[in-house]
Structures are given as structure tokens and as C-alpha cells.
Structure 1
Amino acid sequence: MEIRTGELSNPHVIKLLQTHHNDMLKHSPVESVHALDVSKLTHPNITFYSLWIDNNLAGVGALKALNTTHGEIKSMRTSSNYLRQGIAAKLLTHIVEQATLRGYKKLSLETGTAEAFLPAQNLYTQFGFKECEPFGDYEPDPYSLFMSKML
């Protein structure tokens, strides 16, 4: 297992991010989908991670700096061939560690409210995230669940 920083030009990463975005559109209206495309993930305040097993892409995730003490988890997705194998937990552990190393005091995220998002909600809850009010530029939305954790 190897976690790499970047890789946004890798065709496997691009395909997984497109799959992620298309899947979000199946469960939420377009105005409620907050998944970032490749161009937005290249922003300097975002660090993108990809997890590889034997040179096969297993999952992706990103850490966005909201300010000097608050980060946001973005674009968490496991490749279909690696579902239910602990990939998301490994990426989430890495992102939490990176946020801690940066000195963040709080880590937040937005996920969906549809049944398809229950595995993600359960994972975040297991990691100590709790439901919270919208943060950053988010507005209240029935399709969005906001969660945060103090580090």
C-alpha cells in the first residue's frame, strides 16, 4: 500500500473522480453536489491523496485548508474493486494525521443524506466526527450532512 500526494493527471484518478461526481448526481440535485472536479482539486489550498495497492488505484481523498486552524475533507472515494476492504479508513487516517501535523484544531466535511451515503456517515462517526452546522461557504441543505471533529 502506498499513499501518494498529487497524481491528478493520472487517467485512473481522473476516471475515479468522474465516477464519484456522476454517482453524487444520482443521489442529490446538481446544486447540492459539492464534489470537486480535477481542476478545482489543483487549487493551492487543497492537497490531494491517492492510495495505491500494487500500482492499482484503491481510493482517493483530499484535505482543503479553510484557514490556519480548520481543514475540510474532500473527494473521498474508494475504487469499486476495493470496496469494504478498509481503504476509506486508511485514507481518512492519513488525512486526519496530515491535518494534525498542520496544526489544525478542527476538521470538517460535507456528505450526503441519502441512504447511499450511510457507509460514509458511519465511517466518519467511527472516527469521532459529529453532526454540525454548515461551515465555510456551505448553506443549510436537506441533501447535505455536515460533520466535524476537534483535533
Structure 2
Amino acid sequence: MIGCQLDTHDNAYDSPFDIDGNKEQGIYPPALILHPKDINASVQEIVPMSVYAIEVNNLSGAHAVIKYNSTKLNVMDVKPGEFFKSAQAPLFLYDDNEGVLNIFTSYLGLERKVSGSGSLAIITFQLKASGESIIRFDDNESELLDEDDIPIAIKGFGQGSINAK
């Protein structure tokens, strides 16, 4: 009899596309999540955090409302993610109001919609002060829309945190 020993671990697989891992955290698709969900960095450091749509069908547009601690974090830049990429760049706008970041994006490809999972936006934060900052979606204001501008029910929201030393 031949056998082998497998090393196992209890570490969560750190991927925004880990549906089982998201479900263990109570995040069911379709969902909006932030990734990486935990960042450790130093004051004045600049770090990226992405906004992901997970397991969405017929997505044509999104409005993500993200709340963060503006005394500890500064939004340096927001860029479109890869999910709405086609021959034509997506419509992409953002508005940062000291602790509330609004991101608007629409798919402009010939198909008018996409399905699956992918990055909608990449937020670049600068850490202004030490301590932990929670970054979360406003689940009453954030929305996903189909090609007829009808809301797609969001069943889960995944927050993120940045810990500055």
C-alpha cells in the first residue's frame, strides 16, 4: 500500500472569485465585494483595492457607493476595472465626497451586457493616519443594472479593511 501525506491549512483562499469562501462569510451572489479584503500597510503608503461584481447575469451598468474613513484614508485615483472591457471603453465616472465614493460605470460593447464575475473599478487609497479603516458598500444605494436599466438584486456585499501602521 502506497500513500502520501497532504499538508492542509485553515487559511482562507484569498480570491474574489472564491464563491465557497464568500458564502462562508455570508456573501452570496450576485454580489459586490472589495479585494483584497484586508490590507496592512504604512502611513503615507499608497495601496489599491478593487471593486468586483461576482456571478452577475446580464449586467449593463453599476453604481457602487463606498463609504470609508476620510480622516485615515485619501482616495488618490479610481480607474475602470476589466469586467466591462470591450472594443469600446466603458462609461466611467466617479465622485469622491470626503468619506463617500460614488462610482458609475456602464458597459458600451455591442452585446450591451456581460455575465460572470470581474473587476468594475480599482481604487487607489493613500493612508493618512494609523489604525484600522473599514471600507464598505452602502447597501441601500449601490446597484447593479441590466440592459433595460432594471435593478439586479444584490444578495451580498463584501467589505474591506486597511490597517495602517
Q: TM-score, normalised by structure 2?
A: 0.30
- Give the structure, 1 or 2, with the largest relative contact order (CA under 8 Å, sep 6 or more): 2
> As a proportion of its length, which structure holds more helix?
1
> As a proportion of its length, which structure holds more strand?
2
Larger radius of gyration: 2
